[in-house]
Structure 1
């Protein structure tokens, strides 16, 4: 529930910002932010897999009561991911015009997208660090702390958006760049606050003294994180490139269709929130129980995850379809030509997230034991030959509808493949551990850490 709350707040923040942009700057600005947000998802995908790999290592280490192993995995993830985030942010800022041209961004939206995306790139390292800290805390069973700092970030971002867009209270009038500036400021304030809180409360993932050297990970730990992180990052890259291709196809139908697609993605963010929250819970719980050797719980956790994901996502789909018109009118205005297009998209494509949510639960369970290549192959098949193949094959006969129907078709294909792999695949036979720094510490660390720092008693899992 705290993870779901954080997801709701993050999606609400994006929706509020889109409302400010749409109402103050028009459909072209909404189209610009839709293109920019797709690119940022790609940037996150490039480094997110390493954070996921470290989170799984942290969860399994906590299950074994190996606190040192959890901290070394955390330090390594920070060192690897933040180094990559800084490089990607710099390259992204430089090559923003070329990236937008590849996407076939409408000419009317190009200047807005350029101004918005360049500022967003500047905030990428802070935003990525905030995500990593939240993932690590959930890996040790603390989902409450990330929620509170998400609240802080959302309040700042949504509150500062109109201030910088319109130049209120003596601030400069920055237009769409003001929306990105609000995001940049809120990310930095939230991540600095969370870091301070972690050290003031002496939370399990804090690094002190010689532990700070773990920010430069050992070669063995780099190999472990990269071996698992690259396929997981590649999974997000597969989704991202498919989304970029889809955005390029949508852009060819004009600004109104692009704006409608952007608003639809805002609503889809809410629909998929329960699935992502349940998947995060399943991943942490399965990793901790695998680490503790309690395999009988793994199938029970997964079954419960499938049930709750299906029920919660179905409720969200029904609610969105029933009330989509008044909600979308908030973004675009009641007379916008993009409104009927957006409503049509919702009717055709929204239900695919029920299937998507169940797939995420199965993927979360198998990845918690380091099984990362099979989900990658499944996503490649579902996104390209199935989803994009259908969209391109039927674009002449179905027009834009071929794009919207391709979403549920790809999701059904992924669910079928993931169900078969969960039932018959060999993912249970794998073993994932944090490589020890020295042979001596390998045997001593778990017992000494458990005696010195009874993490299970201080921070209940849940």
Structure 2
């Protein structure tokens, strides 16, 4: 089965779709997996057990978001290297990324297991759920190396033009996790009942099995990014390559933290409105998780595709890739927004039941706010292209301005005039402002003239080693205009 898509030659539309749709499928599976786990825990163990998973899932999300930044940096560097036909440089990026962050993940896993009680105290976990939360969190920390390594490898594969392999093994992880959850929660045959710890154990086992299977597949198919023989020496991080990964990855990781912290701040304001409003907002967030998936998938696809074309010097294709990414976002995200406008009550009923005040509140929140995700989707495409040439600081600045001065200013400043609707309107207000600033950056920001992210491949002591040299003042392949 062909897994890699040629991103630098041929028609753009089918290539973009063939790359973006498996990425979208992976995102849907990942989110569905979390929802299915929550259903198993809630139905088999009750509300206290479900509440106890919140802390573990929050820790896992924050660490995954942190690794996502460096995975995105790897995608950019690998994409540019593949675009110019430099497989050795792409393998060096993979080696440095894995050689750095896998040992870190193991240390975090061990430290998290030891200090999990103290961490729960810092998070303010309710006393009645601490025993359950501790069982869950410790096993989640044990799963951390597999989860983070899978995330890193999947993003590296997408940088090489392969979005199908990540989909295959994400599907394997989800199926295993879904089947194993009730087995380890309740126990069956020789398997002892583990309660809430069994759910976390199922997640850990599913990810370790999927990781092993994916590595076996990569070597069996001899995919371009595999390391074998002397190339295994590339797992020793090269400081200059690591510095590039940190320079590009840290701002992207911080972006995730900025967005998450902004949402937590908004949640404190929502909680003041009472239980029905909080429940309605929670259901709306569940819906938004799926609404934003096409935008995230298209942004990732555009970034990988643009990076390869930039590496190949095909700047004539970069603008067309961006435009088609915007068109598909309008179709997919816009279509979802319209569909939810007419079907919002049954969708909210999935989370809130068919009656009660919360359903009506959730419908109102959705109708006031959800349209903003069309703007969000266009922004993701623009940011994906801009990041493909290594510009990651300005997107961080723009997101910070939108999340705090704009969103919080709107929510607080207009509360007296608009009432509680100021909270809901602050979401599209932030998305519109982000789009305006992202469009200005894309058209006039000079990101096309960013220094080239180029590596030289050299032989050192009988092994391949790649050294990042001083970048030129500007990318020599970039067009003169902005």
Report if aligned partners of 1:106, 1:251 keep a CA contact under 8 Å in 2: no
In the alignment, what sits opposite 1:460? none
**CA-based RMSD:** 3.1
Q: CA deviation digits over 1:409-428, x for unaligned, max 9?
A: 22111111101000000100
TM-aligned CA distance change 1:182 to 1:128, over 3 Å: same
TM-aligned CA distance change 1:173 to 1:267, over 3 Å: farther
Q: CA deviation digits over 1:312-370, x for unaligned, max 9?
A: 01222233344344344444554677555544443333222222111111110000000
Q: Which has the higher contact order (CA 8 A, sep 6+)?
A: 1
| In 2, Cα distance between equivalents of 1:361 and 1:83 | 33
In the alignment, what sits opposite 2:90? 70
In the alignment, what sits opposite 1:364? 384
In the alignment, what sits opposite 1:135? 155
Q: CA deviation digits over 1:92-138, x for unaligned, max 9?
A: 44555565566566666665555433332321221111111111111
1:190 to 2:234 alignment: no
Report if aligned partners of 2:88, 2:457 keep a CA contact under 8 Å in 1: no
Report if aligned partners of 1:279, 1:360 keep a CA contact under 8 Å in 2: yes
In the alignment, what sits opposite 1:451? none
Which among 238, 258, 274 is matched to residue 238 of structure 1? 258
Report if aligned partners of 1:50, 1:80 keep a CA contact under 8 Å in 2: no
Q: Please report the TM-score for the alignment, with normalisation by the length of structure 1.
A: 0.85
In the alignment, what sits opposite 1:211? 231
Report if aligned partners of 1:31, 1:258 keep a CA contact under 8 Å in 2: no
Which stretch of structure 1 is more off in the superposition, 370-379 or 221-230?
221-230
1:45 to 2:65 alignment: yes
1:309 to 2:309 alignment: no
In the alignment, what sits opposite 1:9? 29
Note the C-alpha offset of 1:5. 1.6
Q: CA deviation digits over 1:4-33, x for unaligned, max 9?
A: 122222222222223333444455555554
Q: Please report the TM-score for the alignment, with normalisation by the length of structure 2.
A: 0.82
Q: How does 1:94-105 map to 2 (within 5 A)?
A: 94=114, 96=116
In the alignment, what sits opposite 2:179? 159
Report if aligned partners of 1:27, 1:256 keep a CA contact under 8 Å in 2: no
1:265 to 2:285 alignment: yes
Structure with greater proportional helix content: 1
1:380 to 2:400 alignment: yes
Which stretch of structure 1 is more off in the superposition, 9-18 or 26-35?
26-35
| In 2, Cα distance between equivalents of 1:171 and 1:256 | 41
Secondary structure of 2:455's partner? coil
In the alignment, what sits opposite 1:452? none
| In 2, Cα distance between equivalents of 1:114 and 1:348 | 39
Report if aligned partners of 1:324, 1:343 keep a CA contact under 8 Å in 2: yes
Q: CA deviation digits over 1:248-280, x for unaligned, max 9?
A: 555566666555444433322211111111111
Task: Name structure 2 gaps, 5 residues minimum.
Answer: 1-20, 467-482
How many residues end up aligned between the 2 structures?
A: 444
| In 2, Cα distance between equivalents of 1:255 and 1:164 | 33
| In 1, Cα distance between equivalents of 2:311 and 2:437 | 26
